[in-house]
Copies of this chain bind each other. A is one copy, B any other.
Amino acid sequence: MAADEEDLSHHHDTVRLEAFSDGVIAIAITLLVIEITVPHVEGSESLASALVDQWPSYVGFILSFITIGIMWMNHHTMFKDIERCDHVLIGLNLLLLLAIAALPFSTAVLAEYLDQNDDSRTTATMVYGGAFTATAVVFNALWLYASHGRRLIDRHVSDMRVRQRTLRFIPGPVLYAGGVGLALLTPWLTLALYTAMAVLYLLPLDDPEKSS
């Protein structure tokens, strides 16, 4: 009885942590839009062309929105397997939320400088990719901490599923970091890579729920 009650209370803890995380991620993803400014048109300039000239803002908004959305899904799926909370997990989760909350800023940097000269464009793309990389690194740290020796894993989750999840998460930071490197060649390769990652995830090729 006592053990069961404790389980319940631990489960309740995860629920609150997830709800707070959902709140922060929902706000970060929606705040992306306030970085898109309304163009000021003067004289004979047409609003249509001024809006089209802002294409880097739309690229940044869409790519970041889908990427953060995928992070939310992964966060949500991961916490289905995590049964208990401890102080380290709460701390790592706070660092993860910090990284996600910073993404509207790195997106704004990309949007501002993607159509500028080569130097600024490369820097902006590296900042953008670096922020994604940092987020993915903390994500993996959190999962590895929770899953190492099944430290905080729900007893009903199979070892195979834990291993599958670990294998699915590991490529993230590697690919994002690769994108930072590609920016030295050309930012377009970076954006193509990140777009491919987002599209691949959204396509129903690999349903993470199927294996559960």
Contact = CB atoms under 8 A, between A and B. Distances in A.
Interface string A15-49: 01001101111111111111010100100001110
Contact of A76 (B16, B48, B94): B16
Nearest to A68: B94
A94 B123 contact: no
A88 B204 contact: yes
Interface string A116-128: 1001100110010
A31 to B, nearest CB: 7
A101 B209 contact: no
B33 A29 contact: no
B20 A19 contact: no
Given A38-B108, A94-B69, A209-B86, A101 B51 contact: no
A30 B24 contact: yes
A202 B38 contact: no
Contacts of A26: 20, 23-24, 27
Nearest to A102: B33
Contact of A41 (B120, B127, B204): B120
Contacts of A48: 123
23 contacts: A20-B22, A23-B23, A23-B26, A23-B27, A24-B26, A24-B29, A26-B27, A27-B27, A28-B30, A33-B102, A34-B34, A34-B104, A36-B105, A38-B108, A38-B109, A41-B113, A46-B123, A47-B123, A47-B124, A65-B97, A73-B90, A87-B204, A87-B209
